[in-house]
Structure 1
Amino acid sequence: MESGDGEGLVLAGERVVLAPVRADDVAELRRIRLTPEVAARWGADDTAPPWPWDDPDAMVFTVWHEGAIVGMIQYSEETEPTYRHASIDIFLDPAVHRRGLGRDAVRTLATHLIRDRGHHRITIDPAADNEAAIRAYVAVGFRPVGIMRQYERDPDGRAWHDALLMDLLAHELR
């Protein structure tokens, strides 16, 4: 499933490969991030860092499929022993939506977090109206925990929207 260690970690799923973001990946990731579908969830201001791959508190991977960059997935960890868990965020190029690649990427990263990083619980928090993402996460084993009301601002900053907190316990991974 994996090769390398630390920053050079590469994770292979059934159909995707997750590899740490490299400088050469950024232009294509930026293009994907600025597509209307992704920007509607992640924001469209390409002049306003931090970009996800600039976050020092996250391990960020480029999602590859058949030799092409198709998105980004990242995790962060709560390291306090009493609350230790990980969380995942992802975006994919709309050109590859509805092909199971997001589900494969999330499953691949969740497997790494459970087996290799020792996490017993992983969270993910899609927008409550992002039905396609929610279906993909449920297919991996995530369960709805509850609605986080007015959780984050829309990318344009004008309105708040709800998010669905979901979690996955290690024994629930499918």
Structure 2
Amino acid sequence: MELRGAEVVLRPVAAGDEEVLDRIVREPEVAAWWSPPDDFQRMLAVVLQGEVIGAIQYQEETDPEFRHAGLDVFLTARHHGKGLGTDAVRTLARWLVHDRGHHRLTIDPAAANTAAIRSYRKVGFKPVGIMRSYWRDHRTGTWQDGLLMDLLAEELT
């Protein structure tokens, strides 16, 4: 599977990507919001002009009464603020809606991660509410709030 966005390509993590992704997720600007994952193989690499610049993941709820998908993304700090995260999220969201048949998507950034929230809004995600003490900051051990956001298929921009 390879998904092409306006600027980025999403593809399965390949041999050699894990070391790059591990280095990215440990950058201070990324580590503020992400813990190093146990398994990068369950993600898609975000690639810009042949270079792995981050990863994106999704989970699908398959129960027909609650069918939806959730996603999350991280990029190396040197590519923050360039619209590439927005492109990656929009590209995966389109695939989840058009090819996988999901009518609703969710994403749950840290409530304090204003840059991520702004990016997700550009794709069409809307705030649902604050999830109090939602995630544990691996650096401090303290619980932090998350913002639940969702997107209906017809709201995808």
Amino acid paired to 2:110: A
Partner of 1:167: 150
Instruction: Tell me, yes or no, if structure 1 residue 15 matches structure 2 residue 4.
Output: no
Q: How does 1:83-122 map to 2 (within 5 A)?
A: 83-122=66-105
Distance 1:43 1:75 in 2: 16
Q: How does 1:127-166 map to 2 (within 5 A)?
A: 127-156=110-139, 158-166=141-149
The answer (yes or no) to whether the contact 1:41–1:155 under 8 Å persists in 2 is no
Equivalent residue of 1:41, what SS?
A: coil
Distance 2:33 2:12 in 1: 22
Partner of 1:39: 31
Instruction: Write the deviation string for residues 52-103 of structure 1: whole angstroms up to 9, x where unpaired.
Output: x255xxxx20000111111000101001110000000110000000000000
The answer (yes or no) to whether the contact 2:71–2:106 under 8 Å persists in 1 is yes
Distance 2:152 2:18 in 1: 32
Unaligned ranges ≥5, structure 1: 1-8
Q: What fraction of aligned residue pairs are identical, expressed as a percent?
A: 56
Equivalent residue of 2:32, what SS?
A: helix
The answer (yes or no) to whether the contact 1:119–1:170 under 8 Å persists in 2 is yes
Instruction: Write the deviation string for residues 100-120 of structure 1: whole angstroms up to 9, x where unpaired.
Output: 000000000000000000000
Unaligned ranges ≥5, structure 2: none
CA-atom RMSD, angstroms? Answer: 1.2
Q: Aligned residues, how many?
A: 157
Instruction: Tell me, yes or no, if structure 1 residue 50 matches structure 2 residue 33.
Output: no
The structural deviation recorded for 1:43 is 2.5
Equivalent residue of 2:122, what SS?
A: helix
